[in-house]
Structure 1
Amino acid sequence: MKKLILSAAIVLGTLSMQAENVVVNSAAFQSVNVQDDYKEVDAVPAAIKTALDNEYPGVKLEKAWVNDKKEYKIEVTVRGEKSIVYTDASGKIIKK
């Protein structure tokens, strides 16, 4: 009988140790596409296309954005690698 009571006490003791509050940290991520006052455009001036072709042979324009100062932010792919290039309306590459 003592073994039965002792066994029950051990089982109940281990169950009470497992009954701790469990804190679950769940983070919800919201993706916000901020372009620093750039607005997406469908086409870029021919001067920009020419300048990019001269600077990066085999370049492929993926997306383009323009801001109020007529500066373009262009997502390009060169040899399978994506990158961002900033230019002005005349095609001059801006370092940012």
Structure 2
Amino acid sequence: MARSVWKGPFFDNYLLGKVKKVKESGKYEVIKTWSRRSTILPSFVGITFGVHNGKKFIPVLVTEDMVGRKLGEFSPTRNFSSHSGDRKAKKG
């Protein structure tokens, strides 16, 4: 179920502060975050976030098309290698 429109998008307040500091300094460095649940705001465009996937930080460069989606959508937590049957078929 989606969040109510009247509540507005959810984002962690510390992220907004970090984005302001990065934009003021002019050094567009990676902002590390564990907040996969935060919604991408228009002020985040052009910033690179290091989104934690449970093991490492995946760099995510925010573009205009990503606004309104969650940071966690761009940092996959599961890596699919292949089915065991596929390896057997390739050998023989």
Q: If you compute each CA radius of gyration, which structure gives the higher value, 1 or 2? A: 1
TM-score by length of 2: 0.26
TM-score by length of 1: 0.25
Structure scoring higher RCO (CA < 8 A, sep ≥ 6) equals 2
Higher strand share: 1
